[in-house]
Protein backbone atom coordinates (compact mmCIF):
# COMPACT_ATOMS: atom_id res chain seq x y z
CA UNK A 1 0.00 0.00 0.00
CA UNK A 2 1.30 3.42 -0.93
CA UNK A 3 1.75 5.86 1.91
CA UNK A 4 1.09 9.58 1.58
CA UNK A 5 2.83 12.37 3.45
CA UNK A 6 0.13 14.70 4.73
CA UNK A 7 1.34 18.05 5.98
CA UNK A 8 -1.00 19.65 8.44
CA UNK A 9 -1.47 23.24 9.52
CA UNK A 10 -3.04 24.07 12.88
CA UNK A 11 -4.96 27.34 12.60
CA UNK A 12 -4.36 28.35 16.20
CA UNK A 13 -0.97 29.14 17.69
CA UNK A 14 -2.35 28.73 21.24
CA UNK A 15 -0.46 26.25 23.39
CA UNK A 16 -3.66 24.51 24.49
CA UNK A 17 -5.41 24.74 21.12
CA UNK A 18 -8.46 22.49 20.95
CA UNK A 19 -7.73 22.09 17.24
CA UNK A 20 -4.26 20.72 17.99
CA UNK A 21 -5.88 18.28 20.41
CA UNK A 22 -8.46 17.40 17.76
CA UNK A 23 -5.76 16.82 15.14
CA UNK A 24 -3.74 14.52 17.40
CA UNK A 25 -6.87 12.54 18.32
CA UNK A 26 -7.93 12.30 14.66
CA UNK A 27 -4.56 10.94 13.56
CA UNK A 28 -5.17 7.90 15.76
CA UNK A 29 -8.23 7.16 13.60
CA UNK A 30 -6.52 7.65 10.24
CA UNK A 31 -5.79 4.98 7.65
CA UNK A 32 -2.22 3.67 7.99
CA UNK A 33 -1.44 5.01 4.53
CA UNK A 34 -1.60 8.59 5.81
CA UNK A 35 1.54 9.82 7.56
CA UNK A 36 1.05 13.22 9.23
CA UNK A 37 3.68 15.90 9.72
CA UNK A 38 3.00 19.36 11.13
CA UNK A 39 4.08 22.34 9.06
CA UNK A 40 4.78 25.26 11.35
CA UNK A 41 4.27 28.85 10.26
CA UNK A 42 4.87 30.41 13.68
CA UNK A 43 8.06 32.23 12.62
CA UNK A 44 6.72 33.82 9.44
CA UNK A 45 6.61 37.62 9.62
CA UNK A 46 3.57 39.42 8.22
CA UNK A 47 3.79 39.03 4.46
CA UNK A 48 4.59 41.99 2.22
CA UNK A 49 5.63 41.96 -1.42
CA UNK A 50 8.72 43.85 -0.27
CA UNK A 51 10.11 40.40 0.61
CA UNK A 52 9.66 39.03 -2.93
CA UNK A 53 12.99 40.11 -4.49
CA UNK A 54 14.97 38.46 -1.68
CA UNK A 55 12.62 35.87 -0.19
CA UNK A 56 13.75 35.12 3.38
CA UNK A 57 14.86 31.65 4.42
CA UNK A 58 11.85 31.21 6.75
CA UNK A 59 9.52 31.77 3.78
CA UNK A 60 11.51 29.47 1.48
CA UNK A 61 11.49 26.72 4.13
CA UNK A 62 7.74 27.05 4.63
CA UNK A 63 7.14 26.80 0.87
CA UNK A 64 9.46 23.78 0.62
CA UNK A 65 7.65 22.07 3.51
CA UNK A 66 4.30 22.50 1.71
CA UNK A 67 5.72 21.31 -1.62
CA UNK A 68 7.23 18.18 -0.04
CA UNK A 69 3.78 16.88 0.90
CA UNK A 70 1.38 14.70 -1.06
CA UNK A 71 -1.57 16.45 0.61
CA UNK A 72 -2.42 19.17 3.13
CA UNK A 73 -4.89 19.00 6.03
CA UNK A 74 -5.93 22.22 7.73
CA UNK A 75 -7.28 21.91 11.27
CA UNK A 76 -8.47 25.32 12.40
CA UNK A 77 -10.66 27.35 14.70
CA UNK A 78 -12.80 30.20 13.50
CA UNK A 79 -11.85 33.74 14.56
CA UNK A 80 -14.46 36.46 14.13
CA UNK A 81 -16.34 34.38 11.54
CA UNK A 82 -13.21 33.96 9.40
CA UNK A 83 -9.72 32.51 9.06
CA UNK A 84 -7.26 33.13 11.92
CA UNK A 85 -4.82 35.87 10.87
CA UNK A 86 -1.67 33.78 11.28
CA UNK A 87 -3.08 31.05 9.05
CA UNK A 88 -4.11 33.54 6.36
CA UNK A 89 -0.60 35.01 6.50
CA UNK A 90 0.83 31.52 5.94
CA UNK A 91 -1.24 31.14 2.76
CA UNK A 92 0.06 34.49 1.55
CA UNK A 93 3.67 33.37 2.09
CA UNK A 94 3.07 30.03 0.35
CA UNK A 95 1.61 31.70 -2.72
CA UNK A 96 4.38 34.24 -3.31
CA UNK A 97 6.44 35.47 -5.04
CA UNK A 98 3.86 35.62 -7.83
CA UNK A 99 4.04 32.52 -10.01
CA UNK A 100 5.47 30.27 -7.28
CA UNK A 101 2.29 29.05 -5.58
CA UNK A 102 3.28 26.12 -3.35
CA UNK A 103 -0.30 24.82 -2.98
CA UNK A 104 -0.95 24.32 -6.71
CA UNK A 105 -2.05 20.76 -7.43
CA UNK A 106 -1.72 19.55 -3.83
CA UNK A 107 -4.94 17.92 -2.57
CA UNK A 108 -6.33 19.48 0.60
CA UNK A 109 -9.05 19.17 3.23
CA UNK A 110 -10.28 21.37 6.05
CA UNK A 111 -11.66 20.40 9.45
CA UNK A 112 -12.10 22.47 12.56
CA UNK A 113 -13.47 22.59 16.06
CA UNK A 114 -15.04 25.37 18.05
CA UNK A 115 -16.91 25.65 21.32
CA UNK A 116 -19.67 27.33 19.28
CA UNK A 117 -22.59 25.29 17.96
CA UNK A 118 -21.79 25.86 14.26
CA UNK A 119 -18.21 24.71 14.66
CA UNK A 120 -16.02 26.41 12.08
CA UNK A 121 -18.46 26.54 9.17
CA UNK A 122 -17.88 30.18 8.17
CA UNK A 123 -14.09 29.94 8.44
CA UNK A 124 -14.11 26.81 6.29
CA UNK A 125 -16.11 28.58 3.59
CA UNK A 126 -13.48 31.34 3.51
CA UNK A 127 -10.72 28.74 3.36
CA UNK A 128 -12.41 27.00 0.42
CA UNK A 129 -12.30 30.27 -1.49
CA UNK A 130 -8.60 30.73 -0.70
CA UNK A 131 -7.68 27.12 -1.53
CA UNK A 132 -9.69 27.34 -4.77
CA UNK A 133 -7.72 30.39 -5.85
CA UNK A 134 -4.49 28.59 -4.91
CA UNK A 135 -5.46 25.70 -7.23
CA UNK A 136 -5.48 23.13 -4.43
CA UNK A 137 -7.95 20.31 -5.27
CA UNK A 138 -10.20 20.24 -2.21
CA UNK A 139 -12.17 17.48 -0.60
CA UNK A 140 -15.53 19.23 -0.45
CA UNK A 141 -17.48 16.38 1.10
CA UNK A 142 -17.82 15.22 3.75
CA UNK A 143 -17.57 18.48 5.67
CA UNK A 144 -16.47 18.44 9.31
CA UNK A 145 -17.63 21.24 11.60
CA UNK A 146 -16.90 19.94 15.08
CA UNK A 147 -18.69 21.33 18.12
CA UNK A 148 -16.01 20.86 20.78
CA UNK A 149 -17.39 19.98 24.22
CA UNK A 150 -15.77 19.06 27.53
CA UNK A 151 -14.90 15.39 27.54
CA UNK A 152 -14.81 15.08 23.74
CA UNK A 153 -11.17 13.99 23.98
CA UNK A 154 -10.28 11.66 26.84
CA UNK A 155 -7.11 11.59 28.97
CA UNK A 156 -5.49 9.20 26.48
CA UNK A 157 -5.91 11.82 23.74
CA UNK A 158 -8.61 9.86 21.90
CA UNK A 159 -12.05 10.91 20.71
CA UNK A 160 -14.27 9.76 23.58
CA UNK A 161 -17.63 9.82 21.79
CA UNK A 162 -18.10 6.72 19.62
CA UNK A 163 -20.22 8.40 16.94
CA UNK A 164 -17.78 11.35 16.66
CA UNK A 165 -14.85 8.93 16.41
CA UNK A 166 -16.65 6.98 13.68
CA UNK A 167 -17.47 10.19 11.79
CA UNK A 168 -13.87 11.47 11.96
CA UNK A 169 -12.47 8.06 11.00
CA UNK A 170 -14.72 8.05 7.94
CA UNK A 171 -13.72 11.65 7.19
CA UNK A 172 -10.04 10.63 7.10
CA UNK A 173 -10.88 7.56 5.00
CA UNK A 174 -12.60 9.88 2.51
CA UNK A 175 -9.56 12.18 2.58
CA UNK A 176 -7.32 9.20 1.78
CA UNK A 177 -9.57 8.32 -1.17
CA UNK A 178 -9.52 11.97 -2.31
CA UNK A 179 -5.71 12.02 -2.22
CA UNK A 180 -5.46 8.78 -4.19
CA UNK A 181 -7.99 9.98 -6.74
CA UNK A 182 -6.38 13.39 -7.26
CA UNK A 183 -2.82 12.11 -7.43
CA UNK A 184 -3.82 9.44 -9.95
CA UNK A 185 -5.18 12.23 -12.18
CA UNK A 186 -2.48 14.85 -11.64
CA UNK A 187 1.03 13.57 -10.96
CA UNK A 188 2.57 15.24 -7.89
CA UNK A 189 5.59 16.40 -9.95
CA UNK A 190 3.52 18.38 -12.46
Compute mean pLDDT per 10 residues along the chain, 190 residues long, and list them. 96 94 98 98 98 97 98 96 96 96 98 91 95 97 94 96 96 98 72
Q: What was the pLDDT predicted at 119?
A: 86
Domains and CATH numbers, the chain: 4-185 (3.40.50.360)
**In a 10 Å sphere around its CB, with 0-12 CB exposed, 13-18 middle and 19+ buried, how is residue 39 labelled?**
buried
How high is the pLDDT of residue 186?
55
Kindly give the residue spans of alpha helices, DSSP state H, lying in 28-76: 57-67
| Distance in angstroms (rounded) separating the CA atoms of residues 114 and 120 | 6
At 189 the pLDDT is 53
pTM: 0.94
Q: What does DSSP assign to residue 186? A: S
Residue 187, pLDDT score: 54
Yes or no: say if 58 and 37 are a contact pair by the CB < 8 Å rule.
no
Amino acid sequence: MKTYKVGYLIGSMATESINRKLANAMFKLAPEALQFEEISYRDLPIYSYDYDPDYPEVGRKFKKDIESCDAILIVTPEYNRSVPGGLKNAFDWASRPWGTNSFAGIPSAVVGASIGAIGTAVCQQHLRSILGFLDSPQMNSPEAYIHFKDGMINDAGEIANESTAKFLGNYLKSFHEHIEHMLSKVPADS
